[in-house]
Amino acid sequence: MKTNEKKYSTVHYQQYLALDELLDAQHLRSEKLQKEPAHDEMLFIIVHQSYELWFKQVIHELESVMEMFNQNNVDERSIGVSVARCNRVGEIFKLLIEHIRIMETMTPLDFLDFRNLLFPASGFQSFQFRKIENMLGLKEDQRMTYGNHHYAAFFSEEEQKELDRIVKEGSLFDLVEDWLERTPFLQFRNFRFLSSYRESVERMIAKETEAIESSDYLSVKEKEMRLKMLGNTDTYFQSVLDPEAHAERLASGQLKLSYKATLAALMINLYNEEPILQLPYRFLIALVDIDELLTTWRYRHAQMVLRMLGKKVGTGGSSGHNYLRETAIRHHIFGDLHNISTLLIPRSELPVLPEAVRKELGYFYTVAKETES
């Protein structure tokens, strides 16, 4: 055996990053098809290529999280890793939103210098972005149609099969729903979360209703308005207190998350300060952040298109700004996790957890050992 044999081969920065191929991938159509190249076409290409590189990283992160949750028993350590990786996805979407500010340094007239050369190319044809939507859990029946075409109509047969595979095998939404449904603390020994929560809600509503009705500085109209805002067990809280009401809203498409998963998400949010529930809570918040940032990106994209094109039709044939604005409104994925806030009650009204449950949700093993020593 040679003692001077190198353990690792050397690599050059240029080769490692494949910079020759990467930096030679910006081909201006205006340079080939017009007398004068459009200066800002380079910016347009680089921004969209950057999007695709970041989409690749988002897919890389989501695949790893989905793999960890595609288990009957999710390792607690996996939840911490998933939080970190979902937070990274959130930071990437923040960066993509900032990319729009760079794009907006191009004026509408700058864009018109080469826009006519882009037909029928469109961001709608981004396979990676459609893959991200499917991985997160955007269902086909929730999608807006694009020129009356199926969302996957513009992709190759192989790409269509890949999108279909993701749907059939289950999205991150599906995996999270299954994980929430396995939450063991909704019924634990003598503790019944739902019945305890119902009592707390009824008590809270009764106290606040009495305070509003006995007020001597509110008018009759103001009292009616505040009572309506307060709601009761037949309004805001009905979907979680009445399984049949929840099922009706699932069937109508108003809700997406199953009843049991919704209860689990509610409990995690209400008791998020308990040690064992802190990481699950942070994970749910990370999903809400991704949904919110993706919606923000869609909205900012729509505003940029309005700024650049006004009411013109998009290069791919869509209604342009109107189509993009509607996707920002309708293409929420984790909206049910946002809506948990509707069901929260003040800490002062929270049902007190039985000691046995608190021990299961805490780090009592460590405390007991320290006490013994």
Domain ranges of the chain: 13-372
pLDDT for 15-63, tens place per residue?
Answer: 999 999 999 999 999 999 998 999 999 999 999 999 999 999 999 999 9
Confidence of residue 186 (pLDDT cuts 50, 70, 90): confident
Question: Rounded to an integer, what distance in angstroms lies between the CA atom of residue 68 and that of residue 75?
Answer: 8
**Is the distance from CB of 68 to CB of 110 less than 8 angstroms?**
no
**Is the distance from CB of 47 to CB of 99 less than 8 angstroms?**
yes
- Axis crossing angle, helix 275-309 with helix 76-103, rounded to the nearest 10: 20
**Is the distance from CB of 160 to CB of 125 less than 8 angstroms?**
no
**Is the distance from CB of 305 to CB of 334 less than 8 angstroms?**
no
> Does the structure show a pLDDT above 50 at 372?
no
**Bond from prior residue into 120 cis (ω within 30 degrees of 0):** yes
Residues 6 or more apart whose CB falls under 8 angstroms from that of 114 comprise 28, 29, 30, 34, 38, 40, 41, 44
Q: What are 10's two structure tokens?
A: 């050397």
CATH of 13-372, one of 2.120.10.30, 1.20.120.1760, 1.20.58.480, 3.30.420.10: 1.20.58.480
Rounded average pLDDT over 319-340: 85
Q: How confident is the prediction for the chain on average, in pLDDT?
A: 88
Instruction: Answer positive or negative: Cα dihedral of 75, 81, 83, 86.
Output: negative
**Ramachandran area for residue 253 (φ above 0: left; ψ -120 to 50: alpha; else beta):** left
Other CB atoms within a 10 A radius of the CB of residue 210 amount to 10
Partners of 149 in beta bridges: 146
> Does the structure show a pLDDT above 90 at 227?
no
Residue type, 195: S
